[in-house]
Amino acid sequence: MSEWQKSGWRSKPRVQMPDYTDAEALNAVEAQLAKYPPLVFAGEARRLKKELAAASRGENLIGAFFIFLVFGFGVAASILAFAYGSRKALAARKDRLQAVARYGKPLFGGALVLVGAMILTRLDKAVEAWMLEAMPRWLVELTTRF
């Protein structure tokens, strides 16, 4: 396995990535993003990987639980920081969001009940099989590759 490099993603096949015609703007955005700290640090990811492997073998399940818990809190903290940062944007659109929620809540609730019923009756497997047959081969390969 080769050594990890920050720009290693550039050598991977580009399936759903747009072509950026303004290279200067792209470089400016990449430079700005490079200044931000990572959401997940490499050491955390390596430890999580080791604990996941141990848990899959039935070893140190309590330790794995706590590692996953700490990892989850770390990710949640990043998401919460983003959420609090966007509070002003949400406040500006409060009336519109409340109007959407009036209809969205019952729709999402009904969808949740429907999906739950499909899972309990195993109808979801039939729908999944039908969708896999209906999808083009390239899409099936793309969504199941990783």
The answer on pLDDT for 91 being more than 90 is: no
C-alpha angle 112-117-120 in degrees, rounded to nearest 5: 125
CB-based contacts of 54, cutoff 8 Å, min separation 6: 60, 63, 64
* Span 123-139, pLDDT tens digits: 999 998 898 889 888 88
Distance between first and last Cα of the chain: 17
Tell me the average pLDDT across 97-125: 92
Using CA atoms, how far apart are residues 32 and 25, in angstroms rounded to an integer? 11
Amino acid 119: pLDDT: 92
Q: How many CA atoms lie within 13 A of 6 on its CB side?
A: 6
Confidence of residue 108 (pLDDT cuts 50, 70, 90): very high
Tell me the average pLDDT across 28-56: 80
Residue that has been written with the tokens 């140190």 in this structure: 60
Does 113 or 61 have the greater pLDDT score? 113
Q: Which of 78, 76, 54 is nearest to 65 (CA)?
A: 54
Confidence of residue 83 (pLDDT cuts 50, 70, 90): confident
The answer on pLDDT for 1 being more than 70 is: no
Amino acid 56: pLDDT: 79
The answer on pLDDT for 74 being more than 70 is: yes
Hey, how many other C-beta atoms are within 10 angstroms of the C-beta on 124? Answer: 14
What size, in residues, is the chain? 146
State percent of the chain over pLDDT 70.
97
Q: Which of 44, 84, 89, 43 is nearest to 67 (CA)?
A: 44
Amino acid 146: pLDDT: 62
Tell me the average pLDDT across 62-80: 82
Amino acid 21: pLDDT: 87
State percent of the chain over pLDDT 90.
15
